[in-house]
Structure 1
Amino acid sequence: MATEAQPPAGKGPQTGNILEVLLVFLRLGLTSFGGPIAHLGYFREELVVRRKWLDEQAYAELVGLCQFLPGPASSQVSFSIGLMRAGYGGALAAWIGFTLPSAVALVLFAYGAGALDGPVGRGLVHGLKLVAVAIVAQAVWHMARTLCPDRERASIAVVSALVILFSSSSAAQIGAIALGGAAGLWLCRHAPPVPPRPIRMPVSRSAGVLALIAFFGLLIGLPLVDVMTSSPLVSLFDAFFRSGALVFGGGHVVLPLLSEAIVAPGWVSESAFLAGYGAAQAMPGPLFTFAAYLGTVATIGPRGIAGAVLGLIGIFLPGILILLGTLPFWDTFRQRRGAQAAMSGVNAAVVGLLAAALYDPVWTGSVTSIGDFGIALAGLVLLTAWRAPPLAVVVFSALGGIAMALAH
């Protein structure tokens, strides 16, 4: 995977520096509201459409790959794009930029600061949820035009959306993408091969194997070390690592695992856990930063800021390790004609995944009145017709949410 990426048509070599990656993802970390599916819409608008760091096909394939792997999918996508843009330093910068804003906000909340209450606070939170409606709707429309141009792939997208909408299982997303790959292998097998542009991922196969060894070694070894040492620090780190390693789908799926790992032993009370979860819902960036709050208030381990850092590293590390272990073998796989047919189906399934999420939870959790619909529709027009940056839509929706709350 050391081959240089071919840039999108008309563009020069896609190389960047660590500071550039940090600043771009810091802005995304400050403005990406709405959960992991909405994050993918923000990433696409900023990195595919606006900055052209990668093309639509490569982006959809990255999304499909990260949906297959355990861990936080949107954070894994951001890590991959940072890695592609500026190497390991860029990957770390992307993770820090995307994660830091919500992590800091949740640590402040744990110390009693930043609680959102009253009509202004509730209106602000609701307005920020409406941003996701516009962002995801735009992503679904544009990705469908590119990745579902024929009846076969459009049908795969619809079936995938229905699978997700009618299933309450946390494995529905993985099943829908697997179904899309199988359908693509059958329905798209006669399509003319399109040589995929190589994606520059500076991860050697030996490094990938080491990452996989580290992943399984920590998953198996941490509980053994915990039993042998009875160290509170090891116990807490193991709880966060297991929660991050055993989650498929990311986002809200991690909550029952965290509850079992952190609340059941009595390290965090149930009321404190639910209060932190409510605060995390109002934050931009990945929901996995909830671990920063839990590490801060836990009754074992270092607690405070040190506990927040331990929680963040513990919960994000397994997803990063499994991603690094997969990426060196991904490019070889996607060069094969059968794999291209399967990936065509996977890409269509990703569109279905976004379309299902646009309805539930993005629409059902945000649009509850005519005023909500008006704000979301205006945000979509700002994005598509006026080409407004997502940050402007965030500000507009936030102000609209506050205005509606004060009016009532």
Structure 2
Amino acid sequence: MSEAARSDAVATEKHGSAGEVFAAFLKLGVMSFGGPIAHLGYYREELVIRRRWLDEATFADLVALCQFLPGPASSQVGFSLGVLRGGGLLGGLAAWFAFTMPSAIVMFAFAELAGHFTGTLAQGFLHGLKLVAVAVVSQAIWGMSKSLTPDRPRGAIALAALAVVVLFGGSLAQIGAIVLGAVAGLWLCRGEAAPASGQLSFPVTRAASIIALLLFAALLLLTPLVAAASGSHSLAVFDAFYRSGALVFGGGHVVLPLLQAEVVSPGWVSNEAFLAGYGLAQAVPGPLFTFAAYLGAVMNVPPDGIEGAAIALVALLLPGMLLVYGMLPFWDSFRTRPAAQAAMRGTNAAVVGILGAALYNPVWTAAVLNPRDFALALFGFLLLVVWKWPSWAVVALLACAGTLFSFL
């Protein structure tokens, strides 16, 4: 094969179709248990290691970008990967829909069945899934640390980021760790330019990104005014969930207090129903933000049911998608500059540290309660790293083990 033909083949391999994106993320949507940090591990294993859609550095850059923005970071990373692989907005929507809908459908079904998912069997099943998260996050840190912290300066940045998040906690500490990583990278990580494989162009125009950012701001500022003037409860629900998604950093569990204030305080959802749905949300794969589908379905006032679920789900996830779509082309040009590449080396190392902190809290502290839990989590980690088991098989094995041990 000639050099030109080989180059064309490589270029073709970097692009796919919306159908390919949909199939890949549908698989992830039905197997990605464990919350947003674990989702990044599943993404890395499936799309970076197995399918080779992008390299490790570019994946970590995307994670760092989405950590800066409000909204569900794992969903934003998935949406961005869909835009990159699928050739634009259609690919991003395919990734978002395929990754979100499986858990949203299950949560909607749980809205009718929540009262029945209790007892020893349910608790054991949930605990097994938490142990899966320990194994998956550990695997992600193991793999990412080898490529993103290969020297002492970047190792030190990762440790510093871990210390910041552990000592101060919360989403602001994560953002601060990313910022400190970027500053430290400018000082400690200057060197040769990043390899060409990391310089990927997102098919998003500046005009489209500006429209997305303007729409984000308009919906945030105008929806409450229109809802108050019209008296529409549907708009009030949209506004409550959109505001929660637009103003929360860290995603996942961080949004729950905001949602509780928005739907429990006005009496739209009872506190008992809210807590029951939150417990059930731990048992489903995909983004925790699909908890919104449950809340919309169980509301005491219309819109409820399928209409309420759709409004709440779209409203909570939409701001994060608009923000990341609006930022992609600016990030793409920014990261090609030498100073920006040094900063991104530092932020990539900081991401490893943040993942390490998350492995301890909330992943480890919520799952590993005794020596038996530690043994199961270690077994799952070894199955993933040493024996190269697929993630779905480890999910099934540990969920069954958790259920079995709950009776012992």
Q: Shorter chain as normaliser: what TM range?
A: over 0.9
SS at match of 1:170: helix
Q: How far apart are residue 116 of structure 1 and its match?
A: 2.6
Q: Deviations over 1:211-261 (max 9, x none)?
A: 010000110000110121111111000001000000111011101111121
1:83 and 1:202 in contact (8 A); partners too: yes
Deviation readout 1:57-84 (Å, 9 max, x if unpaired):
1000000000000100000000011111
Residue 296 of structure 2 is matched in structure 1 by 295
State the AA in 2 paired with 1:74.
S
Shift of 1:10: 7.6
CA contact (8 A) 1:383 1:389 kept: yes
Structure 2 distance, partners of 1:105, 1:119, is 21
Gaps of 5+ in 1: 1-5
CA contact (8 A) 1:195 1:335 kept: no
1:287-366 → structure 2 map (5 Å cutoff):
287-366=288-367
Which whole-Å CA distance do the structure 2 matches of 1:300 and 1:216 have between them? 28
- Whole-Å separation in 1 of the counterparts to 2:299 and 2:336: 47
Deviations 1:281-322 (A, max 9, x none): 222111111110111111334210111111111000000111
Q: State the partner residue of 1:132.
A: 133
1:139-190 CA-partner distances (Å, limit 9, x unpaired): 111111100011100000001011111113331111111111111111113x
Report the structure, 1 or 2, having the larger helix content: 2
**Aligned CA distance change for structure 1 residues 232 and 10 (closer, same or farther; 3 Å):** closer
Give structure 2 stretches of 5+ with no counterpart.
1-5
Q: CA RMSD in A?
A: 1.7
Q: Percent identity?
A: 56
Shift of the alpha carbon at 1:19?
2.3
Determine the C-alpha separation between the residues in 2 that align with 1:112 and 1:15: 42
Contact 2:114 2:276 in 1 (8 A): no
Q: Which moved more, 1:199-208 or 1:315-324?
A: 199-208
The within-5 A match list for 1:160-179 is 160-179=161-180
Deviations 1:181-202 (A, max 9, x none): 111111113x222245332421
TM-score, normalised via structure 1 length? 0.95
Could you tell me whether the CA contact under 8 Å between 2:114 and 2:280 is conserved in 1? Answer: no
Q: What is the CA distance between 1:113 and its match in structure 2?
A: 5.7
Q: Which residue of 1 aligns with 2:192?
A: 192
**Which residue identity is paired with 2:225?**
L
1:15 matches 2:2:
no
| Aligned length in residues | 400
Listed as ranges, the matches of 1:39-58 within 5 Å are 39-58=39-58
Maintained 8 Å contact 2:66/2:76 = yes
Q: How big is the shift at 1:349?
A: 0.3
Q: 2:375 corresponds to which residue? A: 374
**Secondary structure in 2 aligned to 1:33?**
coil
Q: What residue number does 2:144 align with? A: 143
Q: What is the rounded CA distance, in whole Å, between the counterparts of 1:56 and 1:201 in structure 2?
A: 17
Per-residue CA shift, 1:94-131, capped at 9, x if unaligned?
Answer: 11111112111111111126843232222111111111
Aligned-residue offset at 1:389: 0.7
Which residue of structure 2 aligns with residue 77 of structure 1?
Answer: 77
Q: Does 1:65 align with 2:28?
A: no
The residue aligned with 1:219 is 220
C-alpha separation between the residues in 2 aligned to 1:198 and 1:115? 50
